[in-house]
């Protein structure tokens, strides 16, 4: 059974940085595409960043230049480094993975692309 577990969320001030992690365990450790999503209260789940198995990445315009997605295959861990945080970045952050989204991984960030999800970690940014 595949399990994704996020950690590292918290409450910070605007302008601060935060690095959140997603530990992956289970039957398969190969995923064509991994991603970070976020969801604020009353809003739809938004794709923040994706990373394909070859290391290429894509970002939502709202975080481009501030956030960086990366992964450590040896540790089976996905990361999201968030810099220059803004109050509008406040949300529950979820990691997601799928073994068969190579083609769409860098072009789209839709929740229904991903079969495996973590439970989320809360990030709160105050002004």
Q: Write the pLDDT tens digit of every residue in 71-114.
A: 998 899 999 999 999 999 999 999 999 989 888 999 989 999 99
The C-alpha angle 110, 89, 108, rounded to 5 degrees, equals 15
Residue 28 pLDDT grade (very low, low, confident, very high; cuts 50, 70, 90): low
Residue-level pLDDT at 90: 98
Q: Which two tokens mark 76?
A: 């089976």
Residue-level pLDDT at 15: 98
Residue range 55-83: average pLDDT? 96
Residue 27 pLDDT grade (very low, low, confident, very high; cuts 50, 70, 90): low
Q: What is the share, in percent, of the chain residues with pLDDT greater than 70?
A: 98
Region of poorest pLDDT, from 1-15, 28-42, 60-74, 84-98: 28-42
Residue 29 pLDDT grade (very low, low, confident, very high; cuts 50, 70, 90): low
> Over the chain, what is the mean pLDDT?
94
Residue-level pLDDT at 30: 79
* Sequence-distant (≥ 6) Cβ neighbours of residue 104 within 8 angstroms: 33, 113
Report helix, strand or coil for 28.
coil
Long-range contacts of 24-32 (CB under 8 A, 24+ apart): 24/76, 24/77, 24/78, 24/97, 25/76, 26/1, 26/2, 27/1, 27/2, 28/2, 28/99, 29/73, 29/76, 30/99, 31/97, 31/98, 31/99, 31/116, 32/98, 32/99, 32/100, 32/101, 32/102, 32/105
């Amino acid at each position: 059974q595949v399990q994704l577990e996020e950690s590292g969320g918290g409450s910070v001030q605007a302008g601060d940085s935060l690095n959140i992690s997603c530990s992956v365990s289970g039957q398969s450790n190969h995923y064509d595409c991994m991603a970070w999503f976020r969801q604020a209260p009353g809003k739809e789940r938004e794709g923040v960043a994706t990373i394909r198995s070859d290391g290429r990445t894509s970002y939502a315009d709202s975080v481009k230049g501030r956030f960086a997605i990366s992964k450590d295959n040896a540790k089976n861990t996905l990361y999201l480094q968030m810099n220059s945080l803004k109050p509008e970045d406040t949300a529950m952050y979820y990691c997601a993975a799928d073994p068969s989204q190579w083609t769409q991984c860098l072009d789209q960030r839709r929740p229904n692309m991903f079969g495996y999800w973590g439970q989320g970690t809360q990030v709160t940014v105050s002004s």
